[in-house]
Each structure stands twice: as C-alpha cells, then as structure tokens.
Amino acid sequence: MEQPPDGPIQSIAEPGVKASGPLLYSMRKEVAELLGRHQTGFPGAQPVSFARQHLDELQKQDYYVCEKSDGIRYLLYSTSDEEAREAHYLVDRKNDYWFITNRNLHFPLENNTQAFHRDTLVDGELVWDSLPNGKKEPRFLVFDCLVMDGNKLMDRTLDKRLAYFKERLYTPYKKLFKEYPDELRFQPFFVEMKPFQLAYGIEMMFKQVLPSLKHGNDGLIFTCRNTAYKHGTDPHILKWKPPEENTIDFRLKLTFPLVEPDEWERKEGITEPFIDYDSVPKSELLIFLGDSGDKYELFDDLYLTEEEWEILKSLNDPLNERIIECNQDDQGRWRLLRFRDDKHEANHKSTVVSVLESINDRVSEKDLYRAAGPIRDSWKARQARSTQVRDR
C-alpha cells in the first residue's frame, strides 16, 4: 500500500515500501552486524506461553508486566541513507524491511535537535489507537531497546535498557514535539513507551490499565528484569492470554473431494468425475517442524460449518496454504479465528506444545490475582536481602 509523503501511515500491516533483492539482503546483513550476529534471520525475542509453572517463576525472579497489544510486532531500525539523511525501517516477523517513506519521522539527539540517531534498533508494536472523535491514530509502542547509536544494550538488564532508551531517544523526541506541536500532524506514527508495572501489580493491570487502553488487547506479557535480551524464543518472556484466547497459528491444507456426476449433470454432458469446490473440503491443520527435512506435520482437522465455508468462498481469496489463527471451542474442536497474513510461517512444533500446555494447564485471571500477594512478598524479600548486602 502506498503511504502518503506527509502525515499518518494508512496501514500498519504495510507501513512503507518493502525492500527486496540486494537491498533486503544488505539490510539484513547490516542489522546482523550491528547486533554482532552471524545469522541474518529476524532478531527479535519471542515469548513462551504462560503455564501454571510460571506462577512459581514469578516468585523466584523480578518480573515486569505490561499489556499485550493487539497490533503488529516490529523492530524499528534507525539509520542513515546513502545521502547521509535520517532513514527508518520497520522490520516485521517475516524479516521483511519496510522503508518509512514519510521523512518527517525524526529522533533528535539530546543536545542537538538537528542531529539524529543511527545504528539504533528498538523493539515494539504498531497499533491503531481509537480517538474519541471516531478516528484512528497509528502508534508505535516501544517495550525494549537492543542497540542505541551502535552501543549494544542486549546484555544489560531490562530496566537499564529501557532507562537508556528513555534518556537518549524518547525524552528528546517528546521535548521536540512539545516545542513544535504543529509538526505532530506530519508524523507517520507516534512513538510511546509501553508502561510496565511490577509483576505483582495484577489488580492495577486488570482494573486500571486494560480498561483505559485506546487499542485492542489480548493478554499480558511478563518480562524478567534480570536477564539479557535473547534473540529467538526467550523462556523469560511469558505471554499470558485468557484461556479462551489461547490460539495456534497453523498452515491450512484444503483437499477437495472428487465426485461422480449425478443424473442431471450427465444430461448436461458431464460424464467424468470432477472436483467439487462447493462442498466443505477436508481441512487439515499443519504445524511447522523447521526448514530441514519434512517441513510440516499434520496436527488436526479444522472444523468448518457449511455457513463458514460459504463465507470463506465469498471472499474470493486464495485459501489453501494460508496461515490461520485458531482456537479450541468448548467441544475441543479447532475453529478459524482469522487469517494471519502477517505471519510467514505456522507455529513451530515447540510453540504448539507450549500453547497446548497453557490450554491444558489453564491459568485464569483469578489465579493471577491469587498469586499477586506471594509474588509481592518474594519481591520485597529479595529487595531487603540486596539492601542488607549493600549496607554491609
């Protein structure tokens, strides 16, 4: 989707011009080198699904909690182009790089509003915020920072990474628009820091934070304060969803039946068996095993009603091989929630196992409420011990 040269982006799924060919290859290599990695795959951390065992984990270490936005995950890469001008790319989970064509996005340095950050990579989510006037506003919510001006932050603790981001990038950015508020309307999107609470602030999350959100939400994210930023699956980032919202992303495989022509069709001259595209097809759900050997494994069937199939047919879109998000109904059948065209691949088998654990070992909102007290007591005890050690 073509984005306007000035003003807000029109799509959060296609926020700019997608890099391809040699440019995409060089961008991936550039970011890998910035991070000190040999792999050029998507470098973002991925959470694990919250299971009952994690209630104990929250008592053992310091965790922060924030809301899980219903948006699209991106890394924001700030760099300079061949003409030494400020340039920004959003990197999605498919590892595609979207160049932000609106050149008004500007992150000034602390003591120089004209200068800008280079070699900077922050982690966040692009959402649509709903305004009181009915309009929607794109917003990039930052929840981590990997590199700032070439300075690698991944080995620092989460609170230090966020504090560094706030001091060096976010505060000068907010100050700029306080001084020049008219410039806000020319921005492709607005940048905010996602607010974190201490892990025991469960009541505050459910009663204050979630009800006041301007965008969709589908759970909570608990992130360990003490651990380094980890590329790929991080067992110290815990994704909690209400039990009914625990979902799996599958690759859909449709098989249409071969049928014999009936009497009427024979009269019409159709004498050979033909593929019946009208009836509900066999719908299989595949999970991802990895790129080597057999890539997929059959997991289960998708349950589709005739009404649902009629709706899908009416979309006039390709359906076979699409990535779809599914949940289980109260009879244990897998049902289609939505297409996930923002996902390049189905969930890996390890992720599926993790989600199934969450489904079978459900942790409800009430369970989190009950755990808040012990989590707080453990946090305070650790705090007291570290104070005693410091005072010796």
Structure tokens at 76: 């924001």
**CB-CB contact of 326 with 259 (8 Å):** no
Residue spans of beta strands (DSSP E) within 153-209: 190-193, 197-198
Q: Are strands 97-99 and 86-91 parallel, antiparallel or unpaired?
A: antiparallel
CA 257, chain centre distance (Å):
37
In the residue annotation, 380 being an active-site residue is answered as: no
- What is the side-by-side order of every strand in the sheet holding 217-224? 45-49, 232-240, 217-224, 63-69, 197-198
Spell out the residues 6+ positions from residue 132 whose beta carbon is closer than 8 angstroms to its own: none
Catalytic entry in 18, 60, 68, 136 = 68
**3-class DSSP state of 137:** strand
75 burial class (0-12, 13-18, 19+ CB within 10 angstroms)?
Answer: buried
Structure tokens at 296: 């997929």
Residue spans of beta strands (DSSP E) within 54-155: 63-69, 72-80, 86-91, 97-99, 108-109, 112-116, 120-130, 136-148, 151-152
Structure tokens at 280: 């509900």
Spell out the residues 6+ positions from residue 67 whose beta carbon is closer than 8 angstroms to its own: 194, 205, 209, 210, 213, 217, 219, 220, 221
Torsion of CA 386, 388, 389, 392, to 10 degrees: 160
DSSP state, 386?
H
Amino acid present at 58:
L
Residue 274's alpha-carbon distances to 235, 253, 317, in angstroms, are 50, 19, 22
Report the alpha-carbon distance of residue 116 to residue 296 in Å, rounded: 45
DSSP state, 183?
G
- List residues with catalytic annotation: 68
